Structure 1
Amino acid sequence: MALPAGFGSGGASVAGPSPLEVRLRRGGCVESVHRVHAVVCDQRGRILMRAGRPDHETFIRSALKPFQALPLLSSGAAEQFDCGEKGVAIACASHAGTPTHAREAFRLLWNADLEVSQLQCPVPIGASSPLEHNCSGKHAAFLATCRKMAWPTESYLQGDHPVQREVHRRVAELLGLPAAELVAARDDCGAPTLRLQLAQMALLYAHLGASTQAELEQISRAMLAHPELVAGEGRFDTELMQRAHGQVLSKGGAEGIQCLSRIGEGLGVAIKVEDGSRRAKQAVALHLLRQLDWLTPSGLQELEEQVLILNPGVSLEVEGALRFQEG
């Protein structure tokens, strides 16, 4: 999938700054090394800063969730079924499956006169209900949208279902691409996710933080108002948004995906760890937040102490930095 017109700076080569490296040291010796690509885009799709390849292609995984929530709003389902900000936030969540999270997902279903049995996300190991699955809010939002639009509920995860086609249409619109060019595959929860270039992910998050489109602004406002629903206590997205005072939105995905938005400035960041390491993506996110000056030093220290918990004698260090895109 080629970068659409407007990306980059007039056809600049993909050659450029090297990927970041995250090194785990044990007793002063390097034990593991993770290679990481990162890019900053504005809402016009211009690559402003980068480390590694902005055209690196991978699946966006759960970082797609804020955009999968768009049909809930555009269909009128969120208003009709009185979702409120909490309902929108849980629709965007990769949550911890606590009773609080399960209750919000259940409320989405209850208000739309839907049954828990209609959820097609798996029941997690050791759990008793699909409501405890980290994607239950997204699935409940899909079903509520289907109820409002009189679309079939039993096939809502199929790629050709109207709710999935609408997600793809909206994402393609934001990227300036024909929807037919998007490549989808099944995520672990059963819903489609998309294979995108890293710069395209950053562009999506630039739009999410720009506050220029009403539905995206509703989504970002809900996530920032209820960060505890988006992930959970002690989890990176929640802890970051609680310390950013409404200025930074954060949403991660599996296999080393992390996306950030700078609210009101139309800037998006996308991070991909080649080997999928969670600790590496969190270390890089902290490193870039420090470089971009998006979080206070005290907030960064608190966040690092909260999420990067390592055994004694073990440390993580990030080598490299974002570089400005050359014109």
Structure 2
Amino acid sequence: MTQPSPFAEIWRGPILESVHSGHAVVCDDTGQIAQSWGDPSAVILPRSSSKMIQALPLVTSGAADKMRLSTEQLALACASHNGAAIHTDRVNSWLDTLGLDDAALRCGPQEPDDRDARNHLIRADEAPCQVHNNCSGKHAGFLTLNKHLGGNSEYVDPAHPVQMACLEAFEDVTEETSPGYGIDGCSAPNHACTLHGMARAMARFAAAPDGAAETRLHQAMRLHPELVAGEGRACTELMRAMDGKVALKTGAEGFFIAILPEQKLGIALKAACGTTRAAECAIAAILVKLGALDPNHPATLKRMNAPITNRREIVTGVLKPARVPQRVGQSCSHSGF
């Protein structure tokens, strides 16, 4: 197995304090590797970066059109949101159109990441609901598909028709037979594949024709970046920085994907250490190298060549890519950014 490649460096003054490493793949519209770092054959769990794949059966089954889902709802089906009012109000409204409420969800309650929403719950002495879970939009999508399929209420069971449809879609777009799955934080199965397979799937999304399910989903994400994540989050800020031309999605344990429709490219990366800052730095570096992201945009500079400050706001170091690749198409299996 090829060793992980350096992704990001942490410098404190003149001292290199730590190095984050990982694996990354850029695929073209034929599914071939255009560029790679580390091991493209590494078997990974894409975690929430696979939500747009899990949302495919919602569209391809006809459920989305039957329920007249909006682009906002399709974006929420792909989201890991902050639990802000703009997210929870929309998910609650969606559940209401299904004749369901919070109890129908199987994602579990979660304290919202949005500060205003969290403070509101504290002041009201209320506990968070399942709708505050960052995956509640995905689960509303599952419930919509479940209503269409006529399944039982336990839609997160791996043997449930909803999850079987998600597995079929996953294996179709990755062009691999999944070796297994883990149970995600929201209780749904999360299927494994190679990193190459995930990048190939994202390239398929990028190259899909107008009107295809893949296109409808990444268009919805690009139209509503605030719903995919939330204020202050990398997905939202970087999509805005690229004027909605690229769809981005983070996943737990240092995963990230990008869908570049104009270039018909897909990106998948995994920080071996599982840290968010490494994955965010790496995705920004790759997008800059591909010409999709302005290196001087404030959203870029928060993740790439970002100053590290202490509690007195004194700059004590910097987070930066390990080394920038020389050219697109070059194999970078043993070098960093």
| 1:131 equivalent in structure 2 | 131
Partner SS state of residue 207, structure 1: helix
8 Å Cα contact 2:307-2:316 kept in structure 1: no
8 Å Cα contact 2:8-2:19 kept in structure 1: yes
Aligned partner (choices 312, 318, 327) of residue 321 of structure 2: 318
Counterpart-to-counterpart distance in 1, 2:296 and 2:36: 26
| 2:174 equivalent in structure 1 | 175
1:100 equivalent to 2:86? Answer: yes
8 Å Cα contact 1:249-1:262 kept in structure 2: yes
Kindly provide the amino acid, as one letter, of the partner of residue 202 in structure 1: A
Counterpart-to-counterpart distance in 2, 1:269 and 1:39: 6
| 1:9 equivalent in structure 2 | none
Aligned partner (choices 175, 195, 200) of residue 192 of structure 2: 195
| 1:160 equivalent in structure 2 | 159
Q: State the Cα distance separating 1:90 from its structure 2 match.
A: 0.5
Q: In the superposition, relative to structure 1, how do residues 309 and 141 fare at CA in structure 2: closer, same or farther (>3 Å)?
A: farther
| 2:267 equivalent in structure 1 | 269
Q: In the superposition, relative to structure 1, how do residues 188 and 309 fare at CA in structure 2: closer, same or farther (>3 Å)?
A: farther
Kindly provide the amino acid, as one letter, of the partner of residue 260 in structure 1: A
Q: State the Cα distance separating 1:293 from its structure 2 match.
A: 1.0
1:33 equivalent to 2:36? Answer: no
Partner SS state of residue 158, structure 1: coil
8 Å Cα contact 1:20-1:321 kept in structure 2: no
Partner SS state of residue 302, structure 2: helix
Correspondence 1:1-327 to 2 at 5 A: 19-125=5-111, 127-153=127-153, 155-178=154-177, 181-212=178-209, 214-299=212-297, 301-305=298-302, 308=306, 310-311=308-309, 312-322=315-325, 324-325=330-331
Q: State the Cα distance separating 1:174 from its structure 2 match.
A: 1.6
Q: State the Cα distance separating 1:309 from its structure 2 match.
A: 6.4
Partner SS state of residue 296, structure 1: coil
Q: State the Cα distance separating 1:21 from its structure 2 match.
A: 3.5
Q: In the superposition, relative to structure 1, how do residues 129 and 234 fare at CA in structure 2: closer, same or farther (>3 Å)?
A: same
8 Å Cα contact 1:159-1:165 kept in structure 2: yes
Kindly provide the amino acid, as one letter, of the partner of residue 260 in structure 2: R
Partner SS state of residue 20, structure 2: strand
Deviates more, 1:91-100 or 1:117-126: 117-126
Partner SS state of residue 286, structure 1: helix
8 Å Cα contact 2:307-2:319 kept in structure 1: no
TM-score of the aligned structures, taking structure 1 as reference length:
0.88
Q: State the Cα distance separating 1:108 from its structure 2 match.
A: 2.0
Q: State the Cα distance separating 1:220 from its structure 2 match.
A: 0.8
Q: Give structure 1 regions of 4+ aligned residues with deviation exceeding 4 angstroms.
A: 306-309
Q: In the superposition, relative to structure 1, how do residues 177 and 305 fare at CA in structure 2: closer, same or farther (>3 Å)?
A: closer
Counterpart-to-counterpart distance in 2, 1:99 and 1:18: 40
1:290-312 Cα deviation digits (max 9, x unpaired): 2111123443x443237956312
Counterpart-to-counterpart distance in 2, 1:95 and 1:302: 18
1:158-208 Cα deviation digits (max 9, x unpaired): 111101110111111122334xx4411100110111222111111111111
1:238-272 Cα deviation digits (max 9, x unpaired): 11111212321100101010111111332111111
Counterpart-to-counterpart distance in 1, 2:95 and 2:59: 15
1:132-154 Cα deviation digits (max 9, x unpaired): 1100001111011111221112x
Percent of counterpart pairs with the same letter?
Answer: 32
Partner SS state of residue 113, structure 1: coil
Partner SS state of residue 37, structure 1: strand
TM-score of the aligned structures, taking structure 2 as reference length:
0.86
Partner SS state of residue 317, structure 1: strand
Deviates more, 1:301-310 or 1:312-321: 301-310
Kindly provide the amino acid, as one letter, of the partner of residue 259 in structure 1: I
8 Å Cα contact 1:40-1:268 kept in structure 2: yes
1:44-66 Cα deviation digits (max 9, x unpaired): 22011011111111210000100
Q: State the Cα distance separating 1:325 from its structure 2 match.
A: 3.9
8 Å Cα contact 2:284-2:303 kept in structure 1: no
